[in-house]
Amino acid sequence: MNAREAALKALFEVEQNGAYSDIALKNILRNSNLSAADKAFASEITYGVIRHKTRLDEIIKSYSSIRLKKLSVWILSILRMGVYQLFFLDRVPESAAVNESVNLAKRYGHKGSVGYVNAVLRAVAKGGEPKYTSLEAYYSHPAWLIDLLCKQYPEDYKKILAANNRPAPVTVRINPLKTTPEDLANRLLAKGIDAGISDDTEGLLEISKFGDISALEEYNEGLFTPQDKGAYLAAKAVGAKKGELILDVCAAPGGKTTQLAEDSQNEGKIIAFDIHQHKITLIQKNAQRLGLSCICAICHDATLPKAEYIGKADKVLADVPCSGLGIIRKKPDIKWRKTPEDLAQIIPIQKQILETSSKYVKKGGVLVYATCTVNKAENHDVTEEFAKENTCFEKIHEVQLLPHLDECDGFYICVFKKL
């Protein structure tokens, strides 16, 4: 199996069986003998096709004599991969994009489909891109999501759409209890991994050419945690300090929980809630890897109050479940899976978690509400309603981070202080 075949198998799992692309690809690559470079190439093709699916289909339609619905998932995926390589991967020669696609068609199609794939891709290579008739086709987003972004961000929505189709930079948070940004950067650079200290966010490194991040010695030593800048800033907004009782009410997989522990120099008490027991185990493993002993992970539903912590917490972080529209760069499946109904159903849960979380905050304490979405109905609208109904809480900071402006996930952060 080569890189292209691995990508094809992952795409088939996504299209045919409804698998999540990251899980499907991880399972396929784990059981392969591909080199690190080939695994990276397979990942690039898989995520690239999912990001640009509608645009790729528009190109194929312009040159195909067969309706796309009539094609098997295998052949349609092969065509999408071929077109993606022709238009989005400059380093791949045209001949390789076409010939390798034909080879895949020989394995996963029949004699007629081999000639069809060859003819379509050669015509695409010769004729180029068509004139796109809609934003939905050009930006490869569903119409409902384009409409939502257009209404909420009329000046920026096209920039957000374009940013969603670019791969996110990979950043890691250094563990200040074990290393420094300079020392970790030097260790990674010595291994051929590009590592640069963030210019505007202390404690983060941007890395590339790293292969399997969880296989790195530095990761297993607990020197760093993969984390986006937006998530990092959400946890920073809590302002964790030594000796404080801090609750993280929607904690899994523990990225922000462990950051709160590191920021408190492992000398506070961090209580982490999650509704699923297997995720509690994940939080505990992350804490152990990082050498953190001040975290207590508890299986608990964040919508329900836990009596022993009411009025006791110095600070509370409510990074609530959301639509995830701010992390499409990392998880392009989201734009094809989510519906307007999903967004409407999650908002009452967000409101309930925020209301419950506020009960834990003692006088003078801090409450932080955060999401990884750009949907204002889940963000500003929720916190405005909360502030009107809870006058003992004052908004002291509110920010909406956007991928095209802030080079991070689309994160919303709102900080309240209890008067």
382-391 pLDDT tens trace = 999 999 999 9
Q: Which of 294, 372, 408, 414 is catalytic?
A: 372
Pair 80, 56: CB distance under 8 Å: yes
In the 8-state DSSP scheme, what is residue 155?
A: T
Is the pLDDT score of 200 beyond 80?
no
Determine if the pTM surpasses 0.85: yes
Arithmetic mean of pLDDT, 313-334:
96
Lowest mean pLDDT among 1-5, 7-11, 210-214, 407-411: 210-214
pLDDT confidence tier of residue 201, bands split at 50, 70 and 90: confident
Is the pLDDT score of 110 beyond 90?
no
More confident residue, 1 or 311: 311
pLDDT per position as a tens digit, 114-138:
999 999 999 999 998 898 989 999 9
Rounded Cα distance, 245 and 258, in Å: 14
The separation between the first and the last C-alpha atoms of the chain, rounded to the nearest angstrom, is 62
Pair 261, 286: CB distance under 8 Å: no
Q: What was the pLDDT predicted at 199?
A: 72
Rounded Cα distance, 382 and 349, in Å: 11
Is the pLDDT score of 212 beyond 90?
no
Domain ranges of the chain: 3-139, 228-418
Rounded Cα distance, 197 and 201, in Å: 9
Q: Please determine whether the domains at 3-139 and 228-418 fall in the same fold group of CATH.
A: no
CATH top-level class for 228-418?
alpha beta
Q: Compute the residue count for the chain.
A: 419
In the 8-state DSSP scheme, what is residue 372?
A: S
Q: CATH topology for 3-139?
A: N-utilizing Substance Protein B Homolog; Chain A (1.10.940)
Pair 342, 392: CB distance under 8 Å: no
For 152, counting Cβ atoms within 10 Å of its Cβ (0-12 exposed, 13-18 middle, 19+ buried), the class is middle
Lowest mean pLDDT among 15-24, 246-255, 266-275: 15-24
Would you give the distance in Å from CA 90 to the centre of its chain?
25
Q: What was the pLDDT predicted at 144?
A: 97
Rounded Cα distance, 208 and 342, in Å: 34
All residues at 6 or more sequence positions from 19 whose CB lies less than 8 Å from its CB, including other chains: 10, 13
Q: What was the pLDDT predicted at 213?
A: 84
Residue ranges in 18-93 assigned as alpha helix (H): 21-30, 36-51, 53-63, 73-88
Q: What was the pLDDT predicted at 112?
A: 87
Is the pLDDT score of 279 beyond 90?
yes
Is the pLDDT score of 355 beyond 90?
yes
299 catalytic per annotation: no
Residue keyed to tokens 């200040």: 176
Pair 321, 350: CB distance under 8 Å: yes
